[in-house]
């Protein structure tokens, strides 16, 4: 399973991005930030890989000051690979 997470240092901005997805009828979930993604606020926005351009547009539309980065997360059986995009 592959998905992308948007990582922030602010919980408020994390929730704001998730609400932007939902208010546009798009799926997004709030998950615990994997430790491999670095230090952040503890939660991230999870969405499908094909929604990355949409997420980038949302970030351009509002100045998110605490945005830390996008990460590709791949669950491989019992292990997980996290890569910064």
10-residue averages of pLDDT along the chain (85 residues): 95 96 97 87 95 97 93 92 94
Measure Cα distances from 31 to 24, 41, 47, 48, 61 in Å: 20, 11, 10, 13, 23
Q: How far apart are alpha carbons 78 and 59 in whole angstroms?
A: 33
> What pLDDT sits at residue 41?
82
The domain segmentation of the chain, as residue ranges, is: 2-84
Residue 83 burial by CB count (10 A; 0-12/13-18/19+): exposed, middle or buried?
exposed
- Say which CATH class 2-84 falls into: alpha beta
Q: How far apart are alpha carbons 43 and 32 in whole angstroms?
A: 4
> What pLDDT sits at residue 63?
85
């Amino acid at each position: 399973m592959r998905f992308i997470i948007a990582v922030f240092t602010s919980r408020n901005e994390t929730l704001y991005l998730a609400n932007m997805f939902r208010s546009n009828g798009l799926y997004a979930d709030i998950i615990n930030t994997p430790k491999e993604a670095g230090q952040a606020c503890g939660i991230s926005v999870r969405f499908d890989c094909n929604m990355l351009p949409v997420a980038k547009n949302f970030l351009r539309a509002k100045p998110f000051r605490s945005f830390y980065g996008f990460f590709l997360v791949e669950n491989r059986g019992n292990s997980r690979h996290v890569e910064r995009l």
